[in-house]
Amino acid sequence: MSATLPAELRELNEQLDAAEREVHALVAGLSREQGTQRPAAGSWSVAECLDHLARANRVYLSAMQGPATRAQTRGSRRQRPALPGWIGGLFVRSLEPPARWWSRLKAPRSIRPDAVPLAEAFADFTASQTDVREFLRQHGALDLAAIRFPNPFVPGIRFSIATGLHVITAHERRHLWQARRIREELERGSRPLT
């Protein structure tokens, strides 16, 4: 599929692939208990990081789907690369790891993680990756930098779909970085990984 996409969408697809490889390495050898273990009060577990990402991906895709479908119906065609603009790029960069004090916000209620088993969180995350890839496949020929959608978490803010797709991958990198720190903390703890 990615060979038929423009270069910047192939790059997004490669970022999705890298995130999946990271998740496979991240959960390898974790027991069910370790996958849901929080290293400190108020922190998240590896499973919660994955559940949060799956939820966020689906909320973003849902917000982008209607505008993309309407643009496709109107016959919108790609005019420029699917890259975030200046403001969108700032937002995307603010999500990159490591999280900085000024960019740490409480997750909106709709994407706060549930206490789910690691296997379920892993399956939901990989399914959400498939959903993002399908969105790219269906809408990659549109002018994604021109089509706007309402930010599902910040009322009154509209992003280009190109920005939304870059937000998804940056957000994944941020929380996979967090999950790696959690795993490292577990490995330093008294319980050995199995």
User: pLDDT tens for residues 160-180?
Assistant: 999 999 999 999 999 999 999
Alpha carbon of residue 163 to chain centroid:
12
Of 119, 133, 154, 129, which Cα lies nearest the Cα of 47? 119
Cα(170)–Cα(94) distance, rounded to whole angstroms? 9
Total residues belonging to the chain: 194
Q: What is the pLDDT of residues 53-79, one digit of tens each?
A: 999 999 999 999 999 999 999 988 988
Q: Where are the domains of the chain?
A: 2-188
Domain 2-188, classified CATH 1.10.3720.10, yes or no: no
Q: What is the pLDDT of residues 15-62, one digit of tens each?
A: 999 999 999 999 999 999 999 999 888 889 999 999 999 999 999 999
pLDDT for 94 beyond 90:
no
CB count in 10 Å sphere of residue 98: 9
pLDDT for 191 beyond 80:
no
3 vs 82, higher pLDDT: 82
pTM to 2 decimal places: 0.90
pLDDT for 193 beyond 50:
no
